[in-house]
Amino acid sequence: MFSVVEPRRLYRQAAEQMRALIERGEFAIGDRLPAERDLAEMLGVSRPTVREALIVLEVEGFVTIRMGSGVYVSRRNVQRISLPASENVEGPFELLRARSLVECAIVEEAARLARPDHIAALDKNLAAMATALDDRPEALSLDRAFHTTVAGIVANATLERFVGELHDLRLTPYFEKLAGYFENRHTWHSALEEHRAIRDAVAAGNPTGARNAMRVHLELAQRRLSESFGEEAEKLSFDERKPAVVP
């Protein structure tokens, strides 16, 4: 029924296999797809990869995700949206891994170089974000601004632009759909508190503390995007991006 996917753009390959089965009628309209853990085992990938694939299929109109219940095959007349070619679309966990590698190094250096005016800019951002927790577009913009402001402390235009571009990858139908499930006032408040911890370490001139605070922030951001659609949530780490070994 399924074959183990190759380790390139795993979530897109997993989506292609599930899409083909739906189009062939092996899953009827209204059928519930197998549980995430079962799909992961069948495809030889991690559960986060399965979740990424399911979001692709929902954006395209092949399935409907019902939180706490599961994933169901949609009616054939659902309007479908084609996503860009797979080589141009990163999944959220791949993006967060890249951000962790880049931004942890940046904030460590920022903690060595920060001046009072830099801290004042971070404080202004945090105050604005505290009033925007119910306004996702504004919170998203302020979230981006916080991270680019941190990068700006290093005074390297390439790094500042690169961090901004990484954040802008979230502005796609795929990420909008994912965010619709897992972003809310509570998650934005959590992100705000994590930003404050980063700010405090930078203001204290503590490179190790700043790096750790950024790492924790991005790991928790991943966890917020890793809630199960129909099963109990699990503790995740970046290493779970690796495909499972299937005999």
pLDDT for 233 equals 41
Same domain, 64 and 98: no
What is the Cα–Cα distance from 23 to 17, expressed in whole angstroms?
10
- CA–CA distance, 244 with 247 (Å, rounded to integer): 10
Distance between CA atoms of residues 247 and 243, nearest Å: 12
Domain around 123: 90-227
- Per-residue tokens: 81: 């949206």
Greatest Cα pair distance in the chain: 63
Question: pLDDT value at position 47?
Answer: 83
Which residue among 71, 86, 101 closes a domain? 86
Separation of CA 237 from chain center: 13
User: What is the Cα–Cα distance from 28 to 11, expressed in whole angstroms?
Assistant: 22
Q: Look at residues 152, 160, 163 and name the one whose alpha carbon lies nearest to residue 117.
A: 152
- Domain match, 167 and 199 both: yes
Count of CB atoms situated within 10 Å of the CB of 144: 17
Mean pLDDT by 10 residues, the chain (247 residues): 57 88 88 90 86 86 85 70 52 84 97 98 98 94 97 96 92 76 88 98 98 96 71 42 33
Is 243 within the bounds of a domain? no
Phi, psi of 99 (to 5 degrees): -60, -40
- Dihedral of the CA atoms 110, 224, 134, 57 (nearest 10)? 120
Answering whether pTM is above 0.75, one says: no
Same domain (yes/no): 82, 185: no
> pLDDT value at position 85?
45
Q: Which pLDDT score is estimated for 229? A: 57
Do 103 and 27 fall into the same domain?
no
Instruction: Determine the pLDDT at residue 228.
Output: 56
- Residues 15 and 134 both lie in one domain: no
Residue 247 lies in a domain: no
Q: What is the CATH number of the domain that holds 54?
A: 1.10.10.10
Q: Output the domain CATH number for residue 195.
A: 1.20.120.530
